[in-house]
């Protein structure tokens, strides 16, 4: 009996064992598992890690890069300087001076020579369309980069309508001065 009393005394002296609650188990074990699952799903949708491109996909991508690299360089056609007075409310003279280059869709050199000759014959129509449009611009219309971008897009659509069936990819401003 003495031994039993000693054991009970020792049991009372030692700190009682804490029961782990189910909530703590879920937090410390469940949360990392859920986090790992979320990371795997995100990696799958982004194509990262082992979920990325397969070898067959990479080969197809390499072939398309070779096709793009083999495309001939773009051809540029420079327009003469265009100078117009802008539409102002206070009847003051404000001029817009631009020098524009047209980026043509690339083709074989023989076809490009023919297109350049045809474009040269259509040049009066192109310049007329551009001047008529730009004369009606106000200073506020071309203010800032957004205004210049809208001008560029509008000029591109007008040039493409004037030179059909020739395709103009882009309009590049060599000079853009408001005087």
Can you give the residue ranges of every domain in the chain? Answer: 19-68, 75-178
Provide the mean pLDDT of the chain.
Answer: 78
**pLDDT at res. 55:** 55
Q: What is the dihedral of CA 17, 20, 21, 24, to 10 degrees?
A: 140
Please give the model's pTM, rounded to 2 decimal places: 0.56
> Any idea which fold 75-178 has?
Tetrahydropterin Synthase; Chain A (3.30.479)
DSSP label of 96? E
99 pLDDT band, cuts 50/70/90, is very high
pLDDT of res. 62: 55
pLDDT at 4: 52
The pair of three-digit structure tokens given for residue 16, joined into one six-digit string: 């009682």
Which residues are registered as beta bridge partners of 168? 104
Residue 174: which of 75, 104, 98, 84 has the closest Cα?
A: 98
pLDDT at 154: 92
**Element holding 148 (H helix, E strand):** helix 144-162
Q: Cβ distance 86 to 139 under 8 Å?
A: yes
- pLDDT tens-digit profile of 122-160? 889 999 999 989 888 888 888 888 889 999 999 999 998
């Amino acid at each position: 009996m003495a031994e039993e009393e000693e054991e009970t005394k020792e049991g009372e002296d030692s700190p009682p064992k804490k029961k782990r609650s189910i909530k703590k188990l879920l937090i410390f074990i469940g949360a990392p598992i859920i986090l790992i699952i979320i990371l795997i799903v995100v990696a799958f949708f982004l194509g990262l890690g082992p979920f990325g491109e397969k070898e067959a996909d990479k080969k197809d991508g390499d072939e398309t890069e070779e096709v793009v690299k083999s495309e001939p360089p773009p051809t540029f056609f420079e327009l003469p300087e265009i100078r117009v007075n802008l539409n102002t409310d206070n009847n003051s003279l404000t001029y817009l001076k631009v020098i524009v280059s047209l980026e043509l869709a690339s083709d074989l050199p023989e076809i490009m020579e023919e297109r350049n000759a045809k474009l040269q014959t259509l040049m009066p129509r192109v310049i007329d369309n551009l001047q008529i449009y730009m004369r009606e611009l106000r200073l506020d219309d071309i203010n800032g980069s957004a205004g210049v971008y809208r001008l560029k897009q509008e000029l591109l659509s007008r040039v493409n309508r004037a030179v059909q069936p020739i395709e103009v990819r882009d309009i590049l401003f060599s000079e853009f001065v408001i005087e």
